[in-house]
């Protein structure tokens, strides 16, 4: 503004969050002023912050100055209350030229005193609906349409403000109830109030996403306002504050799996999907005339005892020529689930089953995945059979893929299979698993000769019963190189290799799993200098490249195979279901359901979802592992697998009891590959924090 303030000038200035009145009592240099406010505050301001001048006052008597400022402020406020902007707008809205605030003040109050003009300016600042302020200090009435739009926006703002206040009060009301009543009350309220439900979902997303949540500021403001209304601090900070609030409301438990919300994995199916699954499960199925009946074969399944979605079975019989005919029979849900049906779209959206320590989240509803589709003992089921013929030297001389009907004669667990393999008895199933193991061992040797590389490391197994309080957690290291595991793994690899060859040879678009060769050799002097065991294995793993899924067949370095298709788990993985459809269409001389572009679209749709599912499994296992470690007071055996600094004080260790790798600190040097005892200094599963130190 064009104003040269002097000592004693009464001004309005911009204090950042409000406009205030003050009297100038001094200067600091050429651009800063010393001012005194009505409340007795001495402040500094700049010429650029002055927004209005109101004459002069007694700068040499601060008590009188404060009273004058307060009287002036009261007078301005009273006049501002008398400003009826809508009436003024109705009166001048046809004016073609902008107006000065003094002109508007004259129209309303018939005077242009500075206090009156400032009262009008303040009214115009607070209500932007009727007049538009310009940079030159003039105001012009807004057009009718713009005024109506702004009125609607203001109505919406006020409604949201009322809703927001009601949401805060609703949450406070629930928190004042006894704990046992909160869950039902908040659940009922959310069902009746969209604003409350959306606010709760906002906080739940913040709890799951944490600092990366794109609406973090909005969620934090809600939590801060809630704390102010409650008159107390909420437990935790950032996203954990939202988490603890959900627990306090009774909506979540202390061990709520936030990964499911973070990665948008729904553990439940909609009523519509469940109804469609029930209808399909109860519907009779008539085999196609071209499906080959293989129910005469002796078939077995080998799975973990708790598995219910059994999607592969095995058979083996000698040939007249002295060789072997191995059948790898994969459940065929594509025989029952129509492409682009409701169930198919749901499976595509989920992309995979998710296996957690607390239980599985299937890709298909359990009435299908664990019954109608599953290769249940003594039930005739549709399958896709890969028939592999070996000669007497175990060279593959013929392969064939056929849609089939099979009947599993016996379900075996891995432990039961190992017992049969160790038995000296001869019998129908003993001989079958012995023959399968003999062939699987040869297949493994062939792959190793082709460059395959595997690591002899146990897996971490975490099983949780969260129905107890506290939850029951069992953590163990599971050997993956048992005879039964090796048998099944090798024959599934064989199946996917033969399917990949078939699809590549016949130019059938499917999804492959590839892995490039490492840049550095996995065995050299540097690697051999590391003692055998976990330390050497992890050093080699660090040189490996990540596997990837692709529509183009390529080398899978770790498996020693070119063109490895995903085809052995169609109940659990959507990409395998696609492969079945493609092959069956080709065999029956029908148009392929997916062309190259269609496969790419599916790959794009499921790739991120597969990654999210993998992260959910990994992070959930780590949560419960940290929960278990938090209970450990005794020293734990570990192997140093990597030094993180030249001194060897910061290391990576492999905890042998649970086959888990984590970082820790040592007070005395231990070489890579050396054994050490560590203790858990800190393990917080909710904060994902683990600190290990040398015992």
Q: pLDDT tens across 606-650, in order?
A: 999 999 999 999 999 999 999 999 999 999 999 999 999 988 899
Cβ proximity of 190 and 249 under 8 Å: no
Cβ proximity of 363 and 350 under 8 Å: yes
SS3 of 183, please?
helix
Domain that holds residue 688: 632-694
pLDDT reading at 217 higher than 70? yes
The residue among 572, 602, 621 that closes a domain is 621
Question: Helices 428-449 and 483-505, interaxial angle, to 10°?
Answer: 60
Reported confidence tier of residue 166, pLDDT bands at 50, 70, 90: very high
Q: What is the pLDDT of residue 148?
A: 93
pLDDT reading at 96 higher than 80? no
Cβ proximity of 439 and 391 under 8 Å: no
Indicate whether 325 and 296 sit together in one domain: yes
Asked whether residue 127 is domain-assigned, the answer is: yes
Indicate whether 588 and 674 sit together in one domain: no
Indicate whether 437 and 539 sit together in one domain: yes
Reported confidence tier of residue 299, pLDDT bands at 50, 70, 90: very high
Indicate whether 349 and 432 sit together in one domain: yes
pLDDT reading at 479 higher than 90? no
Mean pLDDT along residues 114-136: 94
Indicate whether 357 and 489 sit together in one domain: yes
Mean pLDDT along residues 68-72: 94
* Mean of pLDDT over the chain: 94
pLDDT reading at 556 higher than 80? yes
Q: What is the pLDDT of residue 422?
A: 94
Q: CA-to-CA distance for 52 and 659, rounded, in angstroms?
A: 73
Indicate whether 356 and 419 sit together in one domain: yes
pLDDT reading at 510 higher than 90? yes
Mean pLDDT along residues 663-667: 94
Asked whether residue 280 is domain-assigned, the answer is: yes
Cβ proximity of 396 and 390 under 8 Å: yes
The residue among 224, 252, 280 that closes a domain is 252
CATH of the domain at 669: 2.40.50.140
Indicate whether 436 and 343 sit together in one domain: yes
Mean pLDDT along residues 483-501: 97
pLDDT reading at 1 higher than 70? no
Q: How many helices (H) and strands (E) does the chain have?
A: 20, 26
pLDDT reading at 340 higher than 90? yes
Q: What is the pLDDT of residue 28?
A: 87
Indicate whether 190 and 131 sit together in one domain: no
pLDDT reading at 563 higher than 60? yes
Q: Kindly report the backbone phi and psi dihedral angles of residue 429, in degrees, each rounded to the nearest multiple of 5, phi listed first.
A: -90, -35
Tell me the whole-structure pTM to 2 decimals.
0.83
pLDDT reading at 95 higher than 90? no
> In this predicted structure, which of 54-68, 117-131, 632-646, 651-665 has the lowest mean pLDDT?
54-68
Asked whether residue 420 is domain-assigned, the answer is: yes
Q: What is the pLDDT of residue 663?
A: 95
Mean pLDDT along residues 448-457: 91
Asked whether residue 472 is domain-assigned, the answer is: yes
The residue among 621, 648, 683 that closes a domain is 621
Asked whether residue 260 is domain-assigned, the answer is: no
Residue 281 has a CB neighbour count (10 Å cut-off) of: 15
Indicate whether 210 and 282 sit together in one domain: no
End-to-end Cα, the chain, rounded Å: 72
Asked whether residue 111 is domain-assigned, the answer is: yes
Q: Minimal CA–CA distance to 458: which of 475, 481, 488?
A: 481
Residue 201 has a CB neighbour count (10 Å cut-off) of: 12
State the total domains in the chain: 4
SS3 of 653, please?
strand
Indicate whether 343 and 406 sit together in one domain: yes
Asked whether residue 52 is domain-assigned, the answer is: yes
Indicate whether 357 and 225 sit together in one domain: no
Asked whether residue 688 is domain-assigned, the answer is: yes
Chain centroid, CA 166 distance in Å: 31
Mean pLDDT along residues 645-662: 94
Indicate whether 412 and 523 sit together in one domain: yes
Task: Give kind and range of the element (H or E) at residue 154.
Answer: helix 144-175
């Amino acid at each position: 503004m064009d104003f040269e303030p002097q000592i004693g000038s009464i001004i309005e200035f911009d204090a950042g969050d409000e406009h205030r009145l003050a009297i100038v009592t001094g200067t600091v240099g050429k651009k800063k002023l010393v001012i005194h406010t009505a409340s007795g505050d001495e402040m500094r301001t700049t010429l650029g912050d002055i927004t209005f001048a109101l004459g002069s006052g007694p700068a040499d008597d601060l008590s009188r100055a404060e009273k004058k400022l307060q009287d002036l402020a009261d007078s301005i406020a009273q006049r501002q209350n008398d400003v009826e902007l809508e009436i003024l707008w109705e009166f001048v809205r046809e004016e073609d030229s902008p107006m000065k605030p003094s002109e508007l003040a004259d129209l309303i109050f018939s005077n242009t005193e500075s206090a009156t003009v400032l009262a009008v300016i303040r009214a115009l600042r607070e209500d932007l609906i009727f007049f538009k302020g310009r940079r030159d200090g003039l105001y012009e009435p807004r057009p009718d349409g713009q005024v109506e739009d702004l009125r609607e926006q203001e109505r919406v703002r006020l409604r949201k403000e009322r809703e927001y206040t009601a949401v805060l009060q609703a949450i406070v009301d629930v928190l004042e109830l006894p704990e046992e009543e909160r869950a039902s009350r908040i659940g009922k309220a959310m069902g009746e109030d969209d604003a409350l439900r959306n606010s709760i979902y906002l906080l739940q997303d913040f709890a799951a996403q944490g600092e990366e949540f794109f609406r973090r500021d909005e969620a934090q403001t809600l939590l801060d306002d809630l704390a102010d209304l409650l008159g107390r601090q909420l437990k935790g900070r950032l996203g954990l504050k939202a988490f603890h609030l959900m627990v306090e409301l009774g909506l979540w438990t202390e061990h709520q799996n936030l990964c499911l919300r973070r990665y948008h994995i729904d553990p439940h199916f909609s009523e519509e999907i469940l109804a469609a699954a029930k209808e399909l499960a109860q519907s009779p199925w008539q085999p196609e005339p071209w499906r080959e009946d293989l129910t005469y074969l002796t078939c077995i399944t080998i799975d973990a005892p708790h598995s219910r979605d059994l999607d592969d079975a095995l058979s083996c019989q000698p040939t007249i020529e002295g060789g072997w005919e191995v059948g790898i029979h994969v459940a065929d849900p594509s025989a029952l689930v129509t492409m682009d049906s409701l169930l198919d779209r749901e499976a595509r959206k989920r992309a995979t089953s998710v296996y957690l320590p607390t239980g599985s989240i299937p890709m298909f509803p359990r009435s299908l995945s664990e019954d109608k589709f599953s290769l249940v003992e003594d039930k005739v089921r549709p399958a896709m059979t890969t028939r592999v013929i070996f000669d007497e030297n175990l060279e593959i001389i013929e392969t064939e893929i056929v849609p089939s009907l099979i009947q599993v004669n016996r379900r075996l667990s891995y432990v039961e299979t190992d017992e049969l393999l160790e038995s000296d008895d001869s019998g129908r199933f003993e001989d079958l698993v012995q023959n399968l193991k003999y062939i699987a061992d040869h297949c493994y040797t062939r792959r190793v000769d082709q460059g395959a590389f595997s690591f002899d490391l146990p897996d971490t197994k975490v099983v949780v019963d969260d129905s107890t309080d506290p939850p029951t957690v069992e953590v163990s290291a599971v050997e993956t190189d048992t005879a039964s595991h090796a048998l099944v793994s090798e024959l599934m690899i064989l199946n996917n290799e033969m399917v990949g060859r078939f699809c590549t040879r016949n130019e059938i678009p499917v999804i492959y799993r590839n892995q490039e060769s490492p840049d550095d050799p996995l065995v050299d002097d540097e690697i051999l200098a590391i003692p055998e065991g976990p330390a050497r294995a992890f050093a080699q793993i660090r040189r490996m490249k990540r596997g990837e899924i692709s529509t183009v067949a390529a080398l899978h370095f770790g498996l020693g195979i070119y063109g490895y298709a995903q085809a052995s788990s169609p109940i659990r993985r959507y990409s395998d279901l696609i492969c079945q459809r493609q092959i069956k269409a080709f065999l029956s001389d029908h148009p392929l359901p997916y062309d190259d572009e269609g496969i790419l679209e599916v790959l794009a749709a499921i790739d991120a979802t597969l990654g999210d599912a993998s992260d959910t499994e990994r992070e959930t296992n780590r949560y419960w592992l940290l929960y278990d470690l938090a209970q450990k007071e005794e020293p734990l055996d570990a192997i140093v697998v990597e030094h993180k600094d030249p001194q060897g004080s910061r290391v990576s260790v492999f905890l042998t009891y649970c086959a888990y790798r984590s970082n820790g600190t040592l007070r005395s040097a231990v070489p890579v590959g050396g054994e050490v005892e560590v203790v858990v200094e800190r393990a917080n599963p909710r904060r994902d924090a683990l600190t290990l130190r040398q015992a």
